[in-house]
Amino acid sequence: MFRPAWIEIDLGALRTNFKRIRRFVGSKVKIIATIKQSAYGHGLIPVATQLHRLGVDFFGVGGLDEAIKLREERLKEPILVLSPTSSNFAKYFVEYDVRPTVVSMDFARALNREAAKRNVRFPVHIKIDTGMGRLGLYYKDAYRFIKEVSRLKSLSLEGIFTHFPAADIDPEFTNHQISVFNAFVSKLKGQGIRFLYQHCANSMGVLKYRHCHFNMVRPGLILYGIRPQPHIPLKVEPMLSLKSKIIFLKKIQKGRSVSYARTYIARRPTLIGTVAIGYADGYPWSLSGRKTLRGISQAKVIVQDSFFNVVGRVCMDHIMIDLKRRTDIGVGQEVILIGKKKGLEVTASDLAKWAHTISYEIVSRLSFRIPRIYNK
Ligand SMILES: *Cc1c(COP(=O)(O)O)cnc(C)c1O
């Protein structure tokens, strides 16, 4: 590790979070651990392996590539690919025993043919749209489609699901989605079309809408210990810390500038530390210090026992921090970009707020050029 930038992943925190979620939803509700995009940047295989030890019921992944990686690691849990896939790849679902998300007749028929060839009844999950407006037929148009899929002899209807676009901000809309989903599933049941599992709940659904747990939930964010909102009814522990070191230090005089575009001009003599982390690592360029209506917006880092501000523009491989009058900080000193120390904490959600983005984007874009170190 020549470049001092690394990510520490606490698998113990994953154990704590998973157990708390399990207790929160109760033992009758199955958990699909949502580990798409390399477990939100935490690393697909280490996270999946830990969840396997904890007795997770299902994995939810972003694509077939991730599903196949899990199978190659001999993880035997059922896997659901949460996105639709081109019909050309139907055979791989059957070959690797991976549940597909079905949103078209074309794909359903391709899967049915592959399953028939191998003489199996192949489980599928159908996604319907109750307000996300993204994948799946709108529930009002989905009935005939599902009826048609149900006639395919080599497929079995294992799951029906939908997704919430606004569970964190719009309870009225979310409750409406839950009730139309419920009514739709009942209508299907009335026609003899039954699914083993019904699932809707992302992290917010798990936390704030107990009546939408049905018999399966799909948490992502809270597994990793990131809160979708500041106040949630479950305590979770962050798994990920992003750390680097000071690689250069210099005193600068009043009036001198720091970094591209010279947006930062020292108003007093100060000590500037250069830290080996940048936007190529996924530390967003939008964390560059900039003037706002309310003054200067600055991201914070933790060094020793204090917060310090990021000053000037974030560079590809570097940031600069204002160490003020500190004389006890030297080259090689650890800098915490995400994580906690001595009662101080910077969370992925803090970075998201400062960068005008969401915590999901912060963690899922942390570059895999940064080594991940796993602690049990
Ligand atoms: C990502 C995702 C989830 C998990 O969402 P969180 O908000 O991270 O809990 C659940 N369901 C689907 C379909 C997803 O794509």
Q: Is residue 66 pLDDT above 90, yes or no?
A: yes
DSSP 183: H
The answer, yes or no, to whether any atom of ligand 1 lies below 6 A from the CB of 163, is yes
The answer, yes or no, to whether any atom of ligand 1 lies below 6 A from the CB of 274, is no
Q: Does residue 235 form part of some domain?
A: no
**Whether residue 184 sits in one domain with residue 111:** yes
Full domain range(s) for residue 365: 240-375
Cα 374 to averaged position of ligand 1 atoms, centre (Å): 24
pLDDT tens digits, residue range 109-159?
999 999 999 999 999 999 999 999 999 999 999 999 999 999 999 999 999
pLDDT band at residue 354 using 50, 70 and 90 as cut-offs: very high
pLDDT tens digits, residue range 305-329?
999 999 999 999 999 999 999 999 9
Cα 373 to averaged position of ligand 1 atoms, centre (Å): 25
Q: Are 319 and 230 in contact (CB under 8 A)?
A: no
Residues acting as catalytic residues: 36, 260
pLDDT band at residue 290 using 50, 70 and 90 as cut-offs: confident
**Whether residue 369 sits in one domain with residue 265:** yes
**Whether residue 98 sits in one domain with residue 36:** yes
Joined tokens for residue 319:
């940031």
Confidence (pLDDT) at 126: 98
Confidence (pLDDT) at 237: 98
Q: Is residue 168 pLDDT above 70, yes or no?
A: yes
The answer, yes or no, to whether any atom of ligand 1 lies below 6 A from the CB of 221, is yes
The residue to mutate among 202, 214, 358, having the most atoms of ligand 1 within 8 angstroms of its beta carbon, is 202
The residue to mutate among 81, 82, 361, having the most atoms of ligand 1 within 8 angstroms of its beta carbon, is 82
Joined tokens for residue 57:
């019921």
Look at residues 191, 224, 257 and tell me which one is the last residue of a structural domain. 224
**Whether residue 70 sits in one domain with residue 130:** yes
DSSP 165: S
Q: Is residue 297 pLDDT above 80, yes or no?
A: no
Closest CA to 36 of 212, 282, 224, 208: 224
Cα 60 to averaged position of ligand 1 atoms, centre (Å): 9
Q: Considering only CA atoms, which residue is closest to atom 6 of ligand 1?
A: 220
Joined tokens for residue 269:
């003599």
**Whether residue 200 sits in one domain with residue 122:** yes
Confidence (pLDDT) at 298: 86
Q: Does residue 234 form part of some domain?
A: no
Q: Does residue 1 form part of some domain?
A: no
**Whether residue 286 sits in one domain with residue 216:** no
**Whether residue 324 sits in one domain with residue 275:** yes
Q: What is the DSSP string of 18-78?
A: HHHHHHHH-TTSEEEEE-HHHHHTT-HHHHHHHHHHTT-SEEEESSHHHHHHHHHTT--S-
- How many domains does the chain divide into? 2
More confident residue, 298 or 54: 54
CA–CA distance, 110 with 198 (Å, rounded to integer):
24
**Whether residue 193 sits in one domain with residue 329:** no
Q: Does residue 257 form part of some domain?
A: yes
DSSP 3-state of 163: coil
**Whether residue 261 sits in one domain with residue 210:** no
Q: Is residue 334 pLDDT above 90, yes or no?
A: yes
Look at residues 163, 191, 224 and tell me which one is the last residue of a structural domain. 224
Q: What is the DSSP string of 87-120?
A: GGGHHHHHHHT-BPEE--HHHHHHHHHHHHHTT-
Cα 61 to averaged position of ligand 1 atoms, centre (Å): 10
Q: Does residue 6 form part of some domain?
A: no
Helix 139-150 to helix 105-117 angle, to the nearest 10 degrees? 20
Q: Does residue 161 form part of some domain?
A: yes
* Mean pLDDT of the chain, nearest integer: 96
Q: Does residue 36 form part of some domain?
A: yes
Q: What is the CATH number of the domain that holds 170?
A: 3.20.20.10
Q: Does residue 229 form part of some domain?
A: no
Look at residues 224, 258, 286 and tell me which one is the last residue of a structural domain. 224
Residue 269: count other Cβ atoms within 10 Å of its Cβ.
Answer: 13
**Whether residue 105 sits in one domain with residue 131:** yes
Q: What is the CATH number of the domain that holds 261?
A: 2.40.37.10
pLDDT band at residue 376 using 50, 70 and 90 as cut-offs: confident
Confidence (pLDDT) at 293: 67
The answer, yes or no, to whether any atom of ligand 1 lies below 6 A from the CB of 219, is yes
Average pLDDT estimate for 185-202: 97
Q: Is residue 69 pLDDT above 90, yes or no?
A: yes
**Whether residue 196 sits in one domain with residue 60:** yes
Closest CA to 363 of 164, 168, 226: 226
**Whether residue 261 sits in one domain with residue 196:** no
